[in-house]
Structure 1
């Protein structure tokens, strides 16, 4: 600029050169460039030794779609007679690749989503809980930027649909489109470049009034939002050496951490809108569809058959269910560290049992599911079933007779049938009314005290006849108590 200013002052190249201290040829060159309308700072390109081979370099770059390496191009041009260095070739290849990218650059248009239309979700690797891998289900409502992160143990189809159901109910409505990646739970095949949807995910989306769409590979417009949500969630929730987050002791702690994270992120203003996400969600809710009352059937989990013993098998572990579901189908789903069992009842679908997950060989059996076995035993004591007239007559005496027969049979009493006949005869002698009650009461006392010998029933009847009420203390014959007379009185003879 000083050269041009000096020339405009003197109108002489020699005088301007003397004023600025340069050669007059330099002044003349800059003046000629300005007068021709060119940039005075632009330097003319000098001829290079690589120029005769530029056409071949552009051909190689174009055929390889800009992927060929400079060392490979250098070997090619050397074979054609180029004697320069590899540095010159690298510069020429870099210029050719830049020109190729400029000519094949993809044109982008910013995506402006409408309220109530789009929701994106994706999976991310979560932290380890007790040495076990977890997954993070990350969703992003495109217009309001509202985010939901849910932890899960796996990415199976029932888990995916359960997370979608939980996410939609947390948002409060369903959008028109669900946009996601192409996992096997969503896309089962590709034909002519078109993704083939999984029929179950299509059925689940139709249940909620949505349509499933999958993004194109390497497409930032359709995948960037969900990917960014996954990246932020993993940075704030997954413990690393950089963020120094503590490990999670249980799955419940991870669920609570995800809930706190969503609350914090959605409550602060978004950088693009300047409004908190929760406020934008309130504006978007009128554009969302109303959710059905019940979740989709696949969200309930895998189907299992309840066995006759009221148990189901899940991963080779037996879990108990309440009575009344034997032979029916139920649905099992892992929720955190628990197994939720859902069945169809008269009023609809309802959760009937929930167990902590166990390992093979350690079944989960709850006592409240077996009220007919209060002691936890599966062995039932057989009840007497009379099969002839003598047995019928004896058991007709009452519950005491049934108790006496049960205890006598278990104790190994001999001549039981003859003693049963004697009890029936005693009842007839004493009278069919009051006699039945007295004999039945005496049989109950005999069963409790363990008195099954001959004459014990008559002795008990005689004792009860002199008592106004039943004996308060019944002493059973065992090692500590005996009905045989002792030898204690003989000790007084020598005193």
Structure 2
């Protein structure tokens, strides 16, 4: 309702359009007037007592849940049952009264009433987004290049696929210039950008072919500002030819661990060979039970004064 004046209900403009479209005149009840709306409230209470309470009680005893589909199925069975017997108030069968009323009912309009802003169509761009009111909203990537319908309702933007009528995306309406992007429309969160080495020359390709250890050494050497890194790659490859690829990779791993990113450092590691210490992380604390030793009370070491009648030998 749009308001109440002198206990008269003023409907909203959308409700007036709804009533005019379907050809009926609303008859609103007065506030705090049980005589005018008691029938409706009694009907709701009757449905709760005779349908909802038994249905939920049986589900609780059986340990099951009642979803909307099960509730609708039970409601249809209940309606067929109660509408096929004599009603105590009207003293007639509701189904029979409905057949009499059908002669006075008019057919529904052929067009469905649209309430609220009219829907608009948009084409999904290559970024899997659509524009609405100068804002961007994401849709599933499978709809890139397709045309979708945008429906604005209750502060949200609903994206509908026209061919199937399926709601493919929902967004809160944003301010102009903003974007609402959902990760699930792109199959997950956007991966972090890769800034790894991209070898171009033959020397760079040979060095990076040694594996991730060589790439880590390359990135670390660049981070410390090793301006001679380009020429030192040839020295490192020569060390690999002299000592073997396996030992060179092990030396590069040790150099990265200790942040020594120059060719001279790698040469020193190779020269040390197996004699280089291999630090290990600290282990668990060593706890041992110490042996116990017999103890004596401190009273045993007290200095005692001899008694007065005790004779001290000369």
Q: Which has the higher contact order (CA 8 A, sep 6+)?
A: 1
* TM-score for the superposition, normalised by structure 1: 0.33
**The structure with more radius of gyration:** 1
